[in-house]
Amino acid sequence: MKCQGCFTKAELKMSVEPNDIAYPTRSIVEVTYAPRKSRIRKGHTLPETKVVWYDGDQQPPAEIMPQVVATLTQVPLTGCLLIGTKGIMCSTNDYGQEALIALNGETKVRSTTKHPACKALGSYLPRRKEKGELGQYGEFLDAIKGETPVIEETHSRCYADIEHSVPMLEGMLVGCIAQRVPGVLQWDSANQVFVGNREANTFVKPYIRSGWEF
């Protein structure tokens, strides 16, 4: 499966101790998502979006998340920060189990399970409890057995199926190559190549030793 038009470019913004055998010890990479159709809001197009990836001990500046710092007293050591037109959402762990939200004008973040704006939306997607069940692993096993309904947005029995995971992974891999090759890299997702950059393309499908082909 190819991620048609998901990513347009990636750029290494900062690198510490680059080398020829591994990734830099610290780096900042910016990946740009192209405008794309929303899977949730029919007929709605999502705008171009920039994702900044902080690797090593790098962190986003506290100034862009004052509500988070006011609540937690520091920038989280890991997680994801989403900055939108109506506010911010912040996950403070690697897998998004919990999230905090603050709308414009609010001075602190609150859990998405307690914020009035989130409660007003309700829940329309099937949820898996993490305690007492297998969570996403259980969802995967049930999908294999065909015991759960097909979800309209993903055309699958799993919410995070290949229509979600392939574009997400492609963006990560494009970012990994950007860590190795300085400059702005123009990515042609449909053809799976970097435009006009031979060095970057050597990493798309590198030399594989005999017996380890895929």
Q: Which residues contact 23 (CB under 8 A, 6 or more apart)?
A: 55, 176, 179, 180
Q: What are phi and psi of 10, to 5 degrees?
A: -140, 150
Tell me whether strands 7-16 and 184-188 are parallel, antiparallel or unpaired: antiparallel
Q: Point out which residues pair with 45 in neighbouring strands.
A: 37
Tokens of 171: 């963006």
Give the alpha-carbon dihedral of 53, 57, 62, 64, to 10 degrees: 0
Token pair 């101790």 is at which residue?
17
Among 213, 188, 211, 192, which Cα is nearest to 203's?
A: 192
In angstroms, rounded to a whole number, what is the distance separating the alpha carbons of residues 149 and 142? 10
Question: What is the secondary structure of 133-157 as a DSSP string?
Answer: S-HHHHHHHHHHHT-SPPBTTTTBS
Q: How far apart are CA 89 and CA 118, in angstroms?
A: 11
What token pair was written down for 109?
Answer: 């973040």
Q: Decide: 187 and 8 in contact? Cβ < 8 Å.
A: yes
Give CA angle at 25 (20, 31), nearest 5°: 85
Digit-coded pLDDT (tens) for 31-74: 998 888 877 777 888 888 899 999 988 999 999 999 999 999 99
Token pair in block for residue 3: 């991620």
pTM higher than 0.85 for the full model? no
Q: Which stretches of 26-102 are DSSP H helices?
A: 66-72
> Quick one: pLDDT at residue 96?
74
Intervals of the chain under pLDDT 50: 1-2, 4
DSSP label at residue 113: T
Predicted pLDDT of residue 1: 43
Amino acid in position 46: L
